């Protein structure tokens, strides 16, 4: 079963709620399933009912067997009690069983005793049992005695069976909501899918004493890697933290809420806001900018707006880098120095190297994640099925931990040996790419091109694809056969981040390969990814085209996966800061700014005269020597005493209290007095 740790499960739901489909999906991975049909055949003339039954039969795989109990409702308890520990039963549904139980043909009978026997059989069953039942207690009380008898009997049955089952889930409009978890699974419970530290899973560090138990299995969870922030040199001023609880809030009820994580194809995860993104881009055209705008970086604003759910997105204040280290053995790692990935991981933990320095400059946290090592894909599967399930859940938990810590943006990085070849194999399997066309050249430590190593990698991918040519191409099969541990963990990270509405920056082969795989598990995941640059890698270009991700830049940096995204992060933040803080242009309705530099001077009131402008006429002189006549001045008719001359082209000042001045153009003579010149 896909639900970890639960032996018996009751699925409730209304009419057409999707309860039967959900129950069928829970047992889809069981080797054999016995379908227990409880409903009577019905009226032969009721074609609609016959159509419903035919639809149910058509959905069942050919490997399933069917057993009917409509002739004797008491036999259902016997069927469940007799089932062995290696069997899986799907009972659909208890509504039909109650209908047969109330049939007059089976009366008189002690219906309460029959329900008690059924509950006891479920409680003691060694088999895996999933029971489907309609939830009719939310509707109006029926108006007929027969209707009331049915709802009462079904309600009592549901309560008794729910009490006997390990878990109970209510399906509403196709969305499961888990109502009852068990404290701990019993010994006969469904074998839990291996998680980190469990049997069949990749070796992980032993959890410390007192570690919190896994919600699904009751076993101690493996502790997640430590998160640290490399110290910048010198330390820049910390960016202001902006609280945004909505970015890290749970968005939907998934099966993992109470019963352990269920990762399966067709998951319904949230999508970014369809309206906020276009509104934010349209708003950019109204901002007060001197040029044509942000150009291609408008897409950053649209992406941030859609993922934040607002037309005025804020710059990402809290960023975390997840550095995945998972080596691939065999020809995929040709040309790689042994132990190089471990050295890079130690370097990152110590705050050295390109990735750690860029993280420090951006104020981002760094978490080094040890992914399961992968076997040579040309010889056999890279991972077992249990290891794939474990890696997917582990990646999801990493994203959950980041969201719970308030992280607003994740950056996927990788440093494992052979990751390029593994990603090329995934692209070839999921997109039909030719391995030599998507596998980048091998560069040695001396900066030389190693064509021999490149050919070995191509041969390993070719042989792996030939080996798996008849294998299924489902997401988990591709991860097990070709992808390996780091791509599986990265896929879990993308799915978990999508469920928690946290955007992710990807820029390398592991990130885009995980995007290709996650597309088949939840198509919504790719809409939460942003590709700042393809780094000149052909595989990244192809995957970006398939995923519909257009690179923002073409820097062609090759500093390791994740470094390009971190190098562009300051630019992306600056763009978001401009978009959030620039005002609207005044011509488009924005508020005009006060301009004091060119303010009109206030007119002078009574009192001392204002400062005279250049070329102004001199003030009248008091008693004393006459003022010097300016050059080219035309003399005025002299009165008694020394006369002054009037400068040509002089603009008079407004007169205050005192002698009246005369405009030069009027040339009106005023009687002179001693010590006063004529105006």
**Which pLDDT score, from 0 to 100, does residue 241 have?**
38
Higher pLDDT, 185 or 632: 632
Residue 533: pLDDT above 90?
no
Tokens at residue 604, please?
């002078």
What strands lie across the sheet with 529-530, from one edge to the other?
A: 227-228, 365-370, 319-325, 409-414, 504-505, 529-530
* Prior bond of 548 cis (ω within 30°): no
19 close to 11: Cβ distance less than 8 angstroms: yes
Higher pLDDT, 645 or 31: 31
Helix, strand, coil: what percent of the chain each, to 5? 40, 10, 50
pTM: 0.55
User: Where does the pLDDT of residue 426 fall: very low under 50, low under 70, confident under 90, or very high at 90 and above?
Assistant: very high
Kind and range of the H or E element at 33?
Answer: none
Cβ neighbors of 510 (< 8 A, separation 6 or more) are: 324, 412, 414, 416, 419, 423, 486, 487, 490, 561
561 close to 413: Cβ distance less than 8 angstroms: yes
| Residues marked as catalytic | 561
460 close to 334: Cβ distance less than 8 angstroms: yes
Question: For a pLDDT cut of 70, what percent of the chain falls above it?
Answer: 72
User: Where does the pLDDT of residue 583 fall: very low under 50, low under 70, confident under 90, or very high at 90 and above?
Assistant: confident
638 close to 646: Cβ distance less than 8 angstroms: no
Distance (Å, rounded) from C-alpha 639 to C-alpha 241? 82
Residue-wise DSSP of 475-500: HHHHIIIII-HHHHHHHHHHHHHHHT
Cβ neighbors of 501 (< 8 A, separation 6 or more) are: 246, 247, 248, 249, 251, 270, 307, 403, 528
Residue from 379, 51, 434, 401 nearest 248 by CA: 401
Give just the sign of the alpha carbon dihedral 102, 104, 110, 113: negative
**Which pLDDT score, from 0 to 100, does residue 260 have?**
52
Cβ neighbors of 33 (< 8 A, separation 6 or more) are: 27, 61, 63, 64, 65, 88, 89, 90
Antiparallel, parallel or unpaired: β 34-37 and 409-414: unpaired
Q: What is the pLDDT of residues 57-74, one digit of tens each?
A: 777 777 788 888 878 888
Higher pLDDT, 590 or 664: 590
Distance (Å, rounded) from C-alpha 9 to C-alpha 169? 8
**Which pLDDT score, from 0 to 100, does residue 214 have?**
47
User: Where does the pLDDT of residue 446 fall: very low under 50, low under 70, confident under 90, or very high at 90 and above?
Assistant: confident
Of the given ranges (34-43, 431-440, 563-572, 586-595), which has the lowest mean pLDDT? 586-595
Residue-wise DSSP of 338-378: TTHHHHHHHHHHTT-HHHHHHHHHHT-EEEEEEPPPB--TT
Kind and range of the H or E element at 145?
Answer: helix 145-164
Residue from 172, 206, 192, 200 nearest 261 by CA: 192
- Residue 171, classed as helix, strand or coil, is strand
Residue from 113, 148, 119 nearest 133 by CA: 119
Give just the sign of the alpha carbon dihedral 210, 211, 215, 218: negative
Taking phi over 0 as left and psi of -120 to 50 as alpha, with beta for the rest, 513 belongs to alpha
**Which pLDDT score, from 0 to 100, does residue 252 have?**
33
Higher pLDDT, 620 or 290: 290
**Which pLDDT score, from 0 to 100, does residue 212 have?**
40
Q: What is the pLDDT of residues 266-278, one digit of tens each?
A: 888 889 988 888 8
Residue 388: pLDDT above 90?
yes
Q: What is the pLDDT of residues 87-139, one digit of tens each?
A: 889 998 898 888 888 877 767 677 888 899 999 999 998 888 999 999 887 77
Q: What is the CA radius of gyration of the chain?
A: 40
Q: What is the pLDDT of residues 212-261, one digit of tens each?
A: 444 444 444 556 777 766 665 554 444 443 433 333 333 333 333 333 56
Q: What is the pLDDT of residues 172-223, one digit of tens each?
A: 988 888 888 743 333 333 333 333 333 333 333 333 333 444 444 444 455 6
Distance (Å, rounded) from C-alpha 179 to C-alpha 170? 7
User: Where does the pLDDT of residue 511 fall: very low under 50, low under 70, confident under 90, or very high at 90 and above?
Assistant: very high
Question: For a pLDDT cut of 90, what percent of the chain falls above it?
Answer: 29
Distance (Å, rounded) from C-alpha 424 to C-alpha 437? 9
| CA dihedral of residues 125, 131, 137, 139 (deg, nearest 10) | 180
User: Where does the pLDDT of residue 432 fall: very low under 50, low under 70, confident under 90, or very high at 90 and above?
Assistant: confident
* Residues 468-482, mean pLDDT to the nearest whole number: 91
Residue position matching structure tokens 């073409």: 554
| CA dihedral of residues 68, 74, 75, 81 (deg, nearest 10) | 130
User: Where does the pLDDT of residue 331 fall: very low under 50, low under 70, confident under 90, or very high at 90 and above?
Assistant: very high
Exposed / middle / buried, residue 564 (Cβ in 10 Å: 0-12, 13-18, 19+): buried
Residue from 119, 40, 24 nearest 73 by CA: 40
Distance (Å, rounded) from C-alpha 374 to C-alpha 360? 31
| CA dihedral of residues 378, 383, 385, 391 (deg, nearest 10) | -140
Q: Where are the beta strands (DSSP E) in 14-147?
A: 34-37, 65-68, 88-92, 128-134
Beta pairing partners, 287: 584
Average pLDDT of the chain is: 77
Residue 580: pLDDT above 50?
yes
Rounded alpha-carbon distances, angstroms, from residue 25 to 22, 90, 435, 446:
5, 11, 34, 53
Distance (Å, rounded) from C-alpha 396 to C-alpha 401? 9
Residue-wise DSSP of 240-266: PP---GGGGS--S--THHHH-----TT
Q: What is the pLDDT of residues 126-149, one digit of tens each?
A: 888 999 999 887 777 877 887 888
421 close to 332: Cβ distance less than 8 angstroms: yes
**Which pLDDT score, from 0 to 100, does residue 593 have?**
61
* Residues 402-422, mean pLDDT to the nearest whole number: 92
* Residues 494-503, mean pLDDT to the nearest whole number: 93
Residue from 436, 447, 411, 383 nearest 561 by CA: 411
Residue 289: pLDDT above 80?
no
**Which pLDDT score, from 0 to 100, does residue 259 have?**
38
């Amino acid at each position: 079963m896909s639900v970890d740790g639960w032996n018996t499960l009751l699925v409730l739901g209304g009419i057409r709620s999707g309860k039967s489909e959900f129950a069928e999906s829970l047992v889809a991975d069981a080797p054999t399933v016995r379908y227990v049909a409880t409903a009577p055949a019905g009226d032969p003339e009721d074609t609609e009912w016959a159509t419903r039954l035919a639809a149910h039969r058509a959905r069942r795989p050919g490997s399933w067997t069917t057993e009917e109990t409509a002739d004797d409702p008491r036999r259902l308890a016997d069927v469940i009690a007799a089932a062995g520990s290696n069997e899986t039963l799907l009972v659909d549904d208890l509504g039909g069983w109650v209908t047969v139980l109330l049939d007059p043909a089976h009366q008189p009978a002690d219906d309460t005793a029959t329900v008690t026997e059924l509950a006891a059989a479920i409680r003691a069953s060694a088999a895996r049992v999933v029971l489907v039942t309609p939830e009719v207690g939310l509707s109006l009380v029926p108006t007929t005695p027969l209707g009331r008898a049915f709802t009462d009997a079904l309600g009592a049955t549901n309560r008794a069976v729910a009490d006997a089952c390990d878990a109970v889930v209510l399906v509403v409009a196709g969305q499961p909501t888990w109502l009852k978890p068990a404290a701990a699974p019993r010994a006969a419970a469904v074998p839990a899918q291996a998680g980190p530290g469990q049997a069949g899973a990749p070796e992980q560090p032993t959890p410390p004493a007192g570690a919190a138990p896994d919600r699904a299995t009751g076993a101690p969870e493996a502790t997640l890697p430590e998160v640290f922030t490399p110290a910048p040199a010198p330390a820049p001023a910390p960016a202001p933290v902006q609280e945004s609880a909505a970015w890290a809030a749970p968005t939907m009820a998934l099966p993992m809420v109470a019963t352990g994580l269920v990762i399966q194809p067709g998951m319904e995860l949230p999508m970014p806001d369809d309206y906020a993104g276009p509104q934010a881009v349209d708003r950019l055209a109204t901002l007060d900018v001197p040029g044509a705008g942000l150009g291609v970086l408008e897409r950053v604003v649209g992406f941030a707006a859609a993922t934040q759910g607002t037309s005025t997105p804020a710059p990402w204040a809290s960023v975390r880098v997840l550095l995945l280290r998972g080596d691939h053995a065999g020809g995929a790692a040709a040309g790689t120095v042994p132990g190089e990935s471990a050295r890079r991981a130690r370097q990152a933990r110590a705050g050295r190297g390109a990735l750690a320095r860029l993280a420090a400059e951006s104020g981002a946290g760094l978490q080094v994640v040890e992914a399961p090592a992968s076997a040579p894909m040309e010889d056999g599967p890279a991972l077992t099925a249990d290891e794939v399930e474990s890696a997917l859940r582990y990646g999801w938990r990493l994203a959950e931990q980041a969201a719970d810590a308030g992280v607003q943006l994740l950056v996927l990085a990788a440093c494992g040996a052979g990751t390029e070849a593994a990603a090329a194999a995934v692209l070839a399997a999921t997109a039909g790419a030719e391995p030599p066309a998507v596998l980048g050249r091998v560069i040695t430590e001396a900066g030389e091109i190693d064509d021999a190593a490149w050919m070995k990698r191509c041969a390993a991918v070719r042989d792996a694809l030939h080996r798996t040519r008849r294998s299924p191409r489902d997401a988990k099969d591709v991860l097990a056969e070709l992808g390996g541990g780091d791509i599986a963990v990265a896929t879990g990270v993308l799915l978990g981040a999508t469920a928690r509405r946290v955007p992710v920056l990807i820029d390398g082969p592991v990130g885009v390969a995980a995007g290709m795989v996650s597309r088949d598990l939840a198509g919504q995941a790719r809409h939460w990814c942003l590709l700042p640059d393809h780094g000149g890698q052909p595989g990244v270009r192809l995957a970006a085209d398939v995923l519909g991700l257009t690179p923002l830049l073409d820097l062609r940096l090759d500093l390791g996966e994740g470094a390009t995204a971190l190098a562009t992060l300051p630019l992306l933040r600056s763009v978001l800061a401009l978009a959030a803080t620039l005002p609207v242009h005044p011509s488009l309705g924005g508020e005009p700014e006060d301009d004091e530099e060119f303010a009109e001077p206030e007119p002078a009131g009574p009192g001392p005269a204002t400062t005279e402008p250049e070329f102004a006429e001199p003030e009248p002189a008091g008693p004393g020597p006459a003022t010097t006549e300016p050059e080219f001045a035309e003399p005025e008719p002299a009165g008694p005493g020394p006369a002054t001359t009037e400068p040509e082209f002089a603009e008079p000042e407004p007169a205050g209290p005192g002698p009246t001045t005369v405009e030069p153009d009027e040339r009106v003579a005023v009687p002179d007095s001693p010590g006063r010149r004529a105006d």
